[in-house]
Structure 1
Amino acid sequence: MLTENEAERLSSMDEVVSVFPSQQRELHTTRSWDFMSFPTSATHSAFESDVIVGMLDTGIWPESESFDDAGFGPPPHKWKGTCQTSNNNFTCNNKIIGARYYHLVGSIRGENIPSPRDSEGHGTHAASTAAGRLVANASLSGLAEGTARGGVPSARLAVYKVCWKYQGCSDVDVLSGFDDAIADGVDIISISVGSNSPIQKYFSDPIAIGSFHAVKNGILVSSSAGNNGPHRYTVVNSAPWILTVAASTIDRKFIAQVKLGNGDVYQGVALNTGGSIDGTLYPLIKASDAPNTSAGFDASSAKYCNKGSLDEDLTQGKVVICEHFNIGLGPQVAGAVGAIMPPVDTVISDYAMQFKLPASELEVDEVAKILRYSNTTSHPMASVGKSEGVFDGHAPYVVSFSSRGPNPVTSNLLKPDLTAPGVDILAAWSPMASQKSTLYNIISGTSMACPHVSGSAAYIKSFNPSWSPAAIKSALITTAFVMSSKKNPEAEFAYGAGHVNPMRALKPGLVYDADETDYVKFLCGQGYTTVNLRKITGDSSSCTSETNEPIFDLNYPTFALTITKGKPFSATFHRTITNVGDSNSNYKVNVTAPSGLKITVDPQILSFQSLLEKKSFEVKLEGETNEALLSASLVWSDGVHDVRSPIVVYTA
């Protein structure tokens, strides 16, 4: 461990990017691909098997059927990585072509294994979501049964275990993983990891640092937006060179039915792999009526259903009503056969959880009705059923836990970039991570959304191997499904440009391209000095009047502007767009704006005579409003391609 003086001396060295305390980062925890209008029948490129997706996560379970290498040839010639077999505990194949693990600080403890093998489950789940093979009849104990698959089933996987069960993800391990992934020759990096709270500077964040160097080397980095929503300014991994992914629902949700002895039926939310299938009723008891008095609990404390708070003699073989949300450990230990409880907050969860026993999370008023039934019935009875998947016609909408913008580091840069399925996702799992040795599991998080976009990016890369990370990112952003602020009042701060649409992104028409030079200008405009800049770039780049570029001129596919409420505003953005559609094409602009916002685009027509031709345009935003958020859009269309950019004007 460095002393403060040593850290200060080290940070002054020319070859050092920055010095900061190594912290622990968090993991951001299949119908989904079909829901994205990406069917199994979608055309795949022959080049897909040459695309390498690097996963920085908790490792992988190589024996999973999702990673079988039958029919795969040897790794691509560009691959320079290795496989750490770790005393024969781990074996790579022609699907998982490389695997490393990192634990540079402290000791490996508990259930963790000094190997790329995954004992947590998170990394296996993410890897199979991005690039898993098609596996028929996959399910979690019969739930979500169907074909599990990733976006690019023929792509290769390179695994970098930088996170550990109950030990998090050390900054030094994350940076080491980035370094090796870049050197090994991956095409896409997927990292469902981030800080628990937003960073203040991009270069005190290892993911921002590592991803900058990845993008500099032509590697797109897809990362999760974080799970601290729905509060504002909670989005993480918000650097402009990162593709930042929020989490949204698919059109399937899981319910757990509660039946009462009086015939009433309630539909709650849970992932129960067990429970009453035939509707058998059991005695119903309030937790407050079953305190474990010998351990010092009374009615007021037993109602929380904490471990040890319930009297087993009173709850054995019964369904327990908990008056506060919990994971069901207390009722399980006390021998209950089921639990009923209200949500964490006043609103029922928009994602399903697994509990320690069959349980159902119900609306507050529904729990109150069940309590009244229990209080007014001499022998109250109830059952909690096994979960079942039902259609959710409201999907997609951004889930409550998904972190929201605005961008806490750069206010005039819209984040997250887009959203993808991250709720109740079925994918491969590590049997070491579950008591039941589950091979496939259903979990939720922006961690699950991120690999959907990573797989989508790899899909685009397989058809367009020469495209830059920014071009692929632009294609995904400008072709996203438009979402509604009626379902998410935070609008673009919840879902960015919208819901990812990999099929449309394959042919975006136009792209907003950018490279290291553009990000250097952006950093200079953010106040970085030449000395600090050169520590990052490793070259002779300088922050001068020519390279000090305002955020409004970063060639980004979205537009954001911070204003003062009730005061006139005006800002001009400059963009350059590249033709990747038809060689001879004319694009006309169409803007949609609410009252209080005037949008002027010059020119209003862009004419292209060749592929890869570039055209520049100017966007001026002006107006005055008392609204906290104005949502608008700009679309370039040639009648075939619609290249859409969201525009957000908001008060800080």
Structure 2
Amino acid sequence: MRNFLLFSLLLGGTFSFVVVNFIDFQDDFQLLLDNSGPYIGVEFPKQLGFTGDGIKIGVIDTGINLNHPDFFSQDDTPRFSKGYDFVEGDDIPQDTNGHGTQVAGIIAANGQLKGIAPNVEIFSYRVSSDGESVPSDLIIKAINQAVEDKVDIINISLGVNMTHNKIDQAVNNAIKQGVVVVAAAGNSGPDESTIGSPARNPNAITVGATYNNRDSSMVSTLEVDGTQFQVLPMLGTDTISDPISAEIVFAKYSRENDFEGIDVKGKIVLAERGGEKADEIVFFSDKEIFATKNGAKGLIVYNNQPGIFFGELIHEYVSEDYYPTIPTVSMTREEGLELRKIIETESSATFNVFNHPDFIATFSSRGPVSPFYMKPDLVAPGVFVNTTSLKNYYNITSGTSYAAPHVAGSIALLLEKNPEFTPHEIKSILVTTSDVITDQYKDEFGFNEGGAGRIDLKKAFSSELIFEPSKLMFNLSEQKSSEEYEIMIRGINDIVDIQKVEFSEIDNIEFDYRVVNSSLYITSKLIDSKTGDFETRAFITQNDIIYQIPIVIKVSEASIVILEKENELTFQVKRPIDWEYAKITVTNSKTFDERTISITPKKFDSLKLYDAGRYWIEANVRNSSGTLDVFEFYDIKEDLSEQKPIVENSVLPERALIILGIIFTIVIIVGLKFRRKDY
């Protein structure tokens, strides 16, 4: 076996590790998703005999390597021959890139490598040849074709870095037809609001990436006088058995001459990246070598420009016999300069490097995508994942693209057990049974980073309850200090017997609940005027199974009142008292159609809504101090869609209709003018 390790740093903080394993098929061993699969609980349903048999999964990607030996049946017939190549326009979606082959292998390989659901039937829809250029119209065609082919699940490990309404509409249509849609969150993290379509669709199951249950899933911590710093292990460093508690000493650039006159023995060295001159190259390996020679216990290198970086101790210019001796990490320039000031008076620090499988990958795209729902929904292993490759071998690869198929395969096992589950019920089960995950300092990851948590298939398989909705968002203000929502609970075995409901504490908000028949009513109450977005969870226990409901509470300085008469909404701004102008946007949560009105203290307007359902209300309220945002949910109960006027039914947005009206008026005026000249 020969291993080739590639480490690449991409713009925007995206990084990936790829280890390609060239394997002789004569070797007498079996490859497994032996880290990521068991880590999410796949062994439990497999021990019960569930393998995805009878379930169809559509993989919208770069195609599949139809010749891979793990994609053949025992009688040597190809298992994944169904689908369509939208790039070439034929029925043979042969992969020439490798991305789709890797995704399909995680789901359904059944040879030397065993996928999550090895007996599912894969339909491959090829929409890209290189995995980079992905035409949105081909994604839409593939989604529609998958629905026509009556697949049960669609896995989309690609997308666009923006909102794309037509893709979202295709996803909604698939879900309406009973198809579960799983989408990778994207690899544009760690910046916020980096999830695009189709992953940003509220009805899709959006999957971010965590590390994996492998020895290479390293994180690091640094604490100085109670202050926690974000530090990243450099490629080539190793874990340490115990945390290092020692003094930090600044050693300029950690070059040989930088240690003259300073004592770093038994201490942690802090150094700046690079050298004194802009063109001076000082390899990280050299910094580590000189720190080690002078007796240092660890090395911290801060950036010489804004932002974080991922350093490499092992590189093409290092000697073959070099192996890092002390733990070496990187940090931002901003925190490095802050640390330099701190160690002038307090230099004692605690430093650690250890494996942490549930750490969210830096590249994993983050929310928020909307003030009305949370994304991503959950996370799964997406770093150092073992899977099938283009050249009939196997490789280890990273990305949210490879987290999503863990979830798609898991859903296949759930559907094999209970084929009647709807897409919304599947999503509810996965969200409410996810495991809460923490960062390297044991603080819970926020919902914008990791959703509800890591998928726990064993717990999902044992689930007895389905919650609708499976997440809650409260909107409070000083004027509206409390709000109650109903969660409807369905017992999978027709039994609902809630034994306990508990909430994570928030200083300025308290919660209460009541259970009435098969409904759980949760009330949030504001106990001080602190504004902002706050996160908590409700933990619900039945038969020793603990479910979670992620909860976001938005507390605003502004407030509005919504009045309805025969589906016509009017709006009153209650706070701030000195408001001057408000823009009100009303969005249909199913169709995403938006309508906007503007009001002032002297000018009122209203909106007539014809379609029944939930609407998202956003009010941007302006006064002399700035603009305050208010968010509300509103349910229209009566369906008046048959009374909808023609303009209302138009697919054209309001602004486009106004422009067309102006053009039409100009054409009429010009026409009349020329007509008068003819007489």
Instruction: Calculate the TM-score normalised by the size of structure 1.
Output: 0.59
For residue 379 of structure 2, what is the aligned residue in structure 1?
419
2:317 and 2:180 map into 1 onto residues whose CA distance is 42
Paired-residue identity, %: 23
1:353 and 1:398 map into 2 onto residues whose CA distance is 23
The alignment covers a number of residue pairs equal to 437
Give the aligned residue type for 1:101.
Answer: D
For residue 545 of structure 2, what is the aligned residue in structure 1?
641
- How far 1:270 sits from its partner (Å)? 6.2
Give the aligned residue type for 1:574.
Answer: E
Q: Equivalent residue of 1:601, what SS?
A: strand
Query: Residue 209 and residue 362 in structure 1: after superposition, are their counterparts in 2 closer, same or farther (change >3 A)?
Result: farther
Query: Is it true that 1:457 corresponds to 2:411 in the alignment?
Result: yes
Query: Residue 48 and residue 211 in structure 1: after superposition, are their counterparts in 2 closer, same or farther (change >3 A)?
Result: same
For residue 85 of structure 2, what is the aligned residue in structure 1?
101
For residue 118 of structure 1, what is the aligned residue in structure 2?
95
For residue 500 of structure 1, what is the aligned residue in structure 2?
455
- How far 1:195 sits from its partner (Å)? 1.7
Question: Which residue of 201, 208, 211 corresponds with 2:171?
Answer: 211
CA contact (8 A) 2:234 2:313 kept: no
Give the aligned residue type for 2:519.
Answer: S
Query: Residue 216 and residue 497 in structure 1: after superposition, are their counterparts in 2 closer, same or farther (change >3 A)?
Result: same
Question: Which residue of 396, 400, 405 corresponds with 1:446?
Answer: 400
For residue 574 of structure 1, what is the aligned residue in structure 2?
486
For residue 470 of structure 2, what is the aligned residue in structure 1?
557
Query: Residue 459 and residue 71 in structure 1: after superposition, are their counterparts in 2 closer, same or farther (change >3 A)?
Result: farther
- How far 1:496 sits from its partner (Å)? 1.1
CA contact (8 A) 1:126 1:451 kept: yes
Query: Residue 303 and residue 483 in structure 1: after superposition, are their counterparts in 2 closer, same or farther (change >3 A)?
Result: same
For residue 269 of structure 1, what is the aligned residue in structure 2?
235
2:131 and 2:281 map into 1 onto residues whose CA distance is 25
Query: Is it true that 1:248 corresponds to 2:219 in the alignment?
Result: no
- How far 1:448 sits from its partner (Å)? 1.1
- How far 1:404 sits from its partner (Å)? 1.6
2:328 and 2:217 map into 1 onto residues whose CA distance is 10
Residue-by-residue CA offset, 1:475-520 (whole Å, 9 max, x unaligned): 11111112236456651221111110111111221113xxxxxxxx
Query: Residue 118 and residue 640 in structure 1: after superposition, are their counterparts in 2 closer, same or farther (change >3 A)?
Result: same
1:354 and 1:119 map into 2 onto residues whose CA distance is 31
1:155 and 1:599 map into 2 onto residues whose CA distance is 44
Query: Residue 122 and residue 303 in structure 1: after superposition, are their counterparts in 2 closer, same or farther (change >3 A)?
Result: farther
CA contact (8 A) 2:310 2:330 kept: no
CA contact (8 A) 1:571 1:621 kept: yes
Q: Equivalent residue of 1:450, what SS?
A: helix
Q: Equivalent residue of 2:118, what SS?
A: coil
Query: Is it true that 1:225 corresponds to 2:192 in the alignment?
Result: no
1:241 and 1:444 map into 2 onto residues whose CA distance is 25
Residue-by-residue CA offset, 1:127-160 (whole Å, 9 max, x unaligned): 111222252xxxxxxxxxxxx4321011111100
Residue-by-residue CA offset, 1:64-119 (whole Å, 9 max, x unaligned): 233121169xxxxxxxxxxxxxxxxxxxx452141311138xxx9xxxx9951112
Q: Equivalent residue of 2:366, what SS?
A: coil
For residue 163 of structure 1, what is the aligned residue in structure 2?
128
1:130 and 1:343 map into 2 onto residues whose CA distance is 43
Give the aligned residue type for 1:42.
Answer: K
1:66 and 1:568 map into 2 onto residues whose CA distance is 59
1:634 and 1:35 map into 2 onto residues whose CA distance is 24
- The 5-angstrom pairing of residues 390-429 of structure 1 reads 393-408=355-370, 411-429=371-389
Q: Equivalent residue of 1:229, what SS?
A: coil
Residue-by-residue CA offset, 1:534-586 (whole Å, 9 max, x unaligned): xxxxxxxxxxxxxxxxxxxxx4201134567x987433323222110464745
CA contact (8 A) 1:28 1:224 kept: no
Q: Equivalent residue of 1:48, what SS?
A: coil
For residue 616 of structure 1, what is the aligned residue in structure 2?
519
CA contact (8 A) 1:53 1:187 kept: yes
Residue-by-residue CA offset, 1:7-43 (whole Å, 9 max, x unaligned): xxxxxxxxxxxxxxxxxxxx99831112223238833
Query: Residue 346 and residue 644 in structure 1: after superposition, are their counterparts in 2 closer, same or farther (change >3 A)?
Result: same
For residue 140 of structure 2, what is the aligned residue in structure 1?
175
1:353 and 1:68 map into 2 onto residues whose CA distance is 41
Query: Residue 569 and residue 119 in structure 1: after superposition, are their counterparts in 2 closer, same or farther (change >3 A)?
Result: farther
CA contact (8 A) 1:586 1:638 kept: yes
Give the aligned residue type for 2:382.
Answer: G
- The 5-angstrom pairing of residues 319-334 of structure 1 reads none
Q: Equivalent residue of 1:50, what SS?
A: coil
Give the aligned residue type for 2:102.
Answer: H
Query: Is it true that 1:184 corresponds to 2:184 in the alignment?
Result: no
For residue 35 of structure 1, what is the aligned residue in structure 2?
39
CA contact (8 A) 1:188 1:219 kept: yes
Query: Residue 353 and residue 131 in structure 1: after superposition, are their counterparts in 2 closer, same or farther (change >3 A)?
Result: farther
Structure 1 range deviating more: 469-478 or 396-405: 396-405
- How far 1:453 sits from its partner (Å)? 0.7
Question: Which residue of 428, 435, 440 corresponds with 1:474?
Answer: 428
- How far 1:625 sits from its partner (Å)? 5.3
Larger strand fraction of residues? 2
2:189 and 2:550 map into 1 onto residues whose CA distance is 21
Q: Equivalent residue of 2:172, what SS?
A: helix
Query: Residue 443 and residue 47 in structure 1: after superposition, are their counterparts in 2 closer, same or farther (change >3 A)?
Result: closer
CA RMSD of aligned residues (A): 4.2
CA contact (8 A) 2:302 2:332 kept: no
- How far 1:300 sits from its partner (Å)? 6.9
Bigger Rg, which one: 2
- The 5-angstrom pairing of residues 231-242 of structure 1 reads 231-236=191-196, 237-242=199-204
Query: Is it true that 1:133 corresponds to 2:110 in the alignment?
Result: yes
For residue 363 of structure 1, what is the aligned residue in structure 2?
329
- How far 1:471 sits from its partner (Å)? 0.9
Query: Residue 302 and residue 643 in structure 1: after superposition, are their counterparts in 2 closer, same or farther (change >3 A)?
Result: same
1:358 and 1:175 map into 2 onto residues whose CA distance is 48
Give the aligned residue type for 1:456.
Answer: S
1:255 and 1:497 map into 2 onto residues whose CA distance is 21
Unaligned runs of 5+ in 2: 1-13, 17-32, 219-231, 238-254, 256-275, 288-300, 334-352, 556-628, 630-679
Residue-by-residue CA offset, 1:572-612 (whole Å, 9 max, x unaligned): 32322211046474554333332111222232x64xxxxxx
- How far 1:48 sits from its partner (Å)? 2.6
2:62 and 2:119 map into 1 onto residues whose CA distance is 22
Residue-by-residue CA offset, 1:201-243 (whole Å, 9 max, x unaligned): xxx3343222111111111000011222222222332222100
CA contact (8 A) 2:81 2:92 kept: no
CA contact (8 A) 1:254 1:270 kept: no
CA contact (8 A) 1:60 1:159 kept: yes
CA contact (8 A) 2:192 2:365 kept: yes
Instruction: Calculate the TM-score normalised by the size of structure 2.
Output: 0.57
CA contact (8 A) 1:422 1:448 kept: yes
- How far 1:44 sits from its partner (Å)? 4.8
- The 5-angstrom pairing of residues 463-542 of structure 1 reads 463-484=417-438, 486-487=441-442, 491-512=446-467
CA contact (8 A) 1:483 1:498 kept: yes
Query: Residue 571 and residue 462 in structure 1: after superposition, are their counterparts in 2 closer, same or farther (change >3 A)?
Result: same
2:551 and 2:331 map into 1 onto residues whose CA distance is 40
CA contact (8 A) 1:28 1:447 kept: no
CA contact (8 A) 2:307 2:332 kept: no
